[in-house]
Amino acid sequence: MSVKSTAQNVIVSRSRRGAKRGRWRRPVTSLRVRIFLAMVAGALMVLIAAGFAIMNRISDDFDERLAMQSYSAGRVASQFYRQREDQLAHTALVVAGMQSVRSAVSAPSSVPWTQMSADIRTGAQLGANDQIFIYNQRGQLLYADNGSANGSPPLSLTPILTMQASTGEGAESIHGQPALVGGAAINGAAPGNSPIGAVAVTELIGAQLLAQTQQQIGYPCSVFDPAGRFLAASQGDETWPTAFPTLATRPATSPVGSANQPAGQRVPMDKSADVFLLPLFNPHGDLTATVALYVPTTAVRQLQDSVQSLFLALILAGLFVSATVAWLSSRMLVRPIQQLALAADEIAGGHYDHPIPMRGADEVGHLTETFERMRRRIGETTRALVEEKRRSEAEAIVVNAVLNATNDGIIMLDAGGRFRVANRRWETMFGVDSSTLVGLSAEALRDRLRSGMADPDAFDRASEALLRDPERTVYSDEFLQRWPEARTLRRFSAPVREQDGEIIGRVFVYVDISKEREADELKQALLSTVSHELRTPLTTIKGYARTLLIEDWDEDTRREFLRIIDEEADNLSELVDNLLDLSKLEAGVLQIHRQPLLLAPLLQGVVQRRRDTSRQHQYTVHCAADLPLVLGDPRRLEQVVENLIENARKYSAAGSIHVEARRVGEQVEVTVSDQGQGIPPELVERVFERFYRIDNSLSRGTGGTGLGLSICRGLVEAHGGVIRIKETSPQGTTIAFTLPVYTESSAPDREETDGATALSVTTR
């Protein structure tokens, strides 16, 4: 009830008062009724909530009891079938141990199986529903009770016939009918001989077995095939359900059971019965049949209804008691002064927009006037504070948006050297959540950041110098960071001042200059490597050409000099080609003409050329017989293999260089192995970098620009493959790359762009 309506009620009542007692009677009575209704409503809500909770608990308890009843029936049935499978396996052992059976299996063509049938069934004490199947060691059917002339052995005999077990058991389909199966191996006459055959004893899961199941669990049951079709029932009632409960509950895979809960599903049908679906699976995990156990629930449901009815009566009795208590309590709580108390509560709760009606000149009226002045003053002050807070929040949003939009990491400390604010880029640079740094001192913050620096001591010294001098401004501190990412950082720091010049903190700006440093290093590597590699062939060419010009040489010497000049010119041309290929790869304009091709002739041709030009290594190649077509550019793939073989030759003084190709899933993997010095483990990730060589000095004996493997990686990735160091050790290295297998859907028919490499694809 609002303060305004309460005050108006008081004013109206005062105009009709005749005595002090009569003055307050009407509002007190009205308020009493409202308090009473509120208390009754609260009690009713509590009782309803508690009632629903308890009723749900009762329902859950009874559902749990019904579930336990169903799972208990399923557990007993499952144990009964396992026991029956064990009995069938034992019977199979008895049959397999008969001398007449062993002799008959050893010489099946000379044995009258029909005459032996009665002896076998009598000796094994077989039931009328049991059937026997005898197979030789190759799985051929020798004898069957049902007269079948052929048929594959049951899955339960597979481990027996493959000599992995001596017995086997399970549930599976025999000639289209679900059955329990027990099997045993037929051993030869001599001790220690391997099995010469196997015996399978089966029992169909039909009406007879289901009747035995009903005797075990006390409930009727039926069996359905994997498609949900009714097969048989434990009793021949015409009203018996012959439809599978629901397709959604049909088990499709073998569930995992436990000691207290068998593998199966409980399906509540209605209030009269639950159905427990017990799936039977063959040794391969395929569903053989589903046994439905019909568990009656009428008695339990009737008990549940009785308990819930009793509890509902208790709730109604509690509601009556609560109403009585609420009425008595309301008479004691109502007082006239509570009208102003309610108004005070409104103001204390932050509601200042409802004026308090003015009362008379008595004490209550004076108190009302005082409350009204207080309400207006508090309301004006609160609105001013809210407006100021709104403006501050809007400014903070703009500042945060600007900070987070920058690509530099920015952090600010207050005048006391404690963490104040940081943008998202700074959090990313240092792998820190700024919300965990609030109030952290500069020293503690420095200790958290130093662990990620390559030189923590230098970072400490530079930071301490800034903290010692609040006026200091630094423009070019540089640090190497190793965590969370290797990068080079340049730091700017300056004091932050108020408009009057007072220092209120210090700002730090971290700029990532890693790409600049990487570009400088790459430029230096390019200049030093290319200048050296260009100078070497040019010096040789110039020297031999000058020698030819100075003197007259015999024909053999002249040809040798010209051969050397031609070889160095080829080296110079190869260097230029490598630089051009690298440039095209970087620019994304390298042309790849892909077509279906066989790798075997390509690899054999490359290796044969190597055999003709290099005699100090033994070159071998092996391609799998089932090697499929790949989609690639023959010239570029030859370049990849040539580079890998050349790399293997350079880093192995002698020995064998082996090239192999084989299919791995939907890829063809090509490997090049050598017997060289190997690659240090810490350098494996860097060998595919541009201009990187394991021996990085200019006087190295193996020569080269360090571009070969980098170009190989670009070409392989342009074909949709991956290149990697597959294996390395002091005894040699194996480099592998993969190419996608050619399929009709991957046939090239248009201009494509793949990553950073533009592929001009044509079909030849």
563 Cβ partners below 8 Å, 6+ apart? none
Whether residue 750 has pLDDT greater than 80: no
Alpha-carbon span 455 to 459, nearest angstrom: 7
Contacts 24+ apart (CB under 8 A), 137-141: 137/161, 137/194, 137/195, 137/196, 137/197, 137/198
Which of 8-17, 118-127, 615-624, 686-695 is predicted with the least confidence, judged by mean pLDDT?
8-17
pLDDT in tens, 654-667: 889 999 999 999 99
- How many Cβ atoms are within 10 Å of 401's Cβ, its own excluded? 10
> How far from 747 is each of 264, 631, 742, CA to CA, in Å?
50, 8, 7
- Report DSSP letters for 139-194, one per residue: S-EEEETT-----PPPGGGHHHHTTS-SEEEEEEEETTEEEEEEEEEEE-SSTTPP
Q: Name the strand (E) or helix (H) holding 493.
A: strand 487-497
Average of per-residue pLDDT across 418-430: 89
pLDDT in tens, 610-626: 887 777 889 999 999 98
Average of per-residue pLDDT across 127-149: 78
The number of C-alpha atoms within 13 Å of 66 and in the hemisphere containing its C-beta is: 28
Two structure tokens written together for 321: 């008691």
- Parallel/antiparallel/unpaired status of strands 195-204 and 221-224: unpaired
In the 8-state DSSP scheme, what is residue 358? P
* Three-state secondary structure call for residue 738: strand
Residue 760: pLDDT band with limits 50, 70, 90: very low
Most confident of 97-101, 345-349, 377-381, 431-435: 431-435
Alpha-carbon span 169 to 283, nearest angstrom: 8
In 3D space, the residue among 106, 100, 170, 96 whose CA is nearest the CA of residue 133 turns out to be 96
Residues 311, 51 contacting (CB under 8 angstroms): yes
Which of 123-137, 317-331, 486-500 is predicted with the least confidence, judged by mean pLDDT?
317-331
pLDDT in tens, 61-90: 777 777 788 788 888 888 888 888 888 888
The answer to whether the bond into 27 is cis (omega within 30° of 0) is: no
Helix extents (H) in 484-633: 514-550, 555-587, 599-613
Residues 564, 729 contacting (CB under 8 angstroms): no
Q: Tell which wins on pLDDT, 246 or 162.
A: 162
1 Cβ partners below 8 Å, 6+ apart? 34, 342
In 3D space, the residue among 447, 417, 406 whose CA is nearest the CA of residue 430 turns out to be 447
Residue type, 650: K
Q: Name the strand (E) or helix (H) holding 672.
A: strand 667-673
Decide: pTM greater than 0.85.
no
pLDDT in tens, 102-112: 877 877 666 66
pLDDT at 670 (0 to 100):
95
616: left (phi over 0), alpha (psi -120 to 50) or beta: alpha
Residues of the chain above pLDDT 90, percent? 8
Alpha-carbon span 203 to 127, nearest angstrom: 9
Q: Could you tell me the end-to-end alpha-carbon distance of the chain, in angstroms, rounded to an integer?
A: 90
Residues 426, 411 contacting (CB under 8 angstroms): yes
pLDDT in tens, 567-602: 777 767 766 666 666 666 666 667 778 899 999 999
Q: Name the strand (E) or helix (H) holding 265.
A: strand 265-270
pLDDT at 762 (0 to 100):
30
pLDDT in tens, 522-548: 666 666 666 656 666 777 777 778 777
Residues 447, 432 contacting (CB under 8 angstroms): no
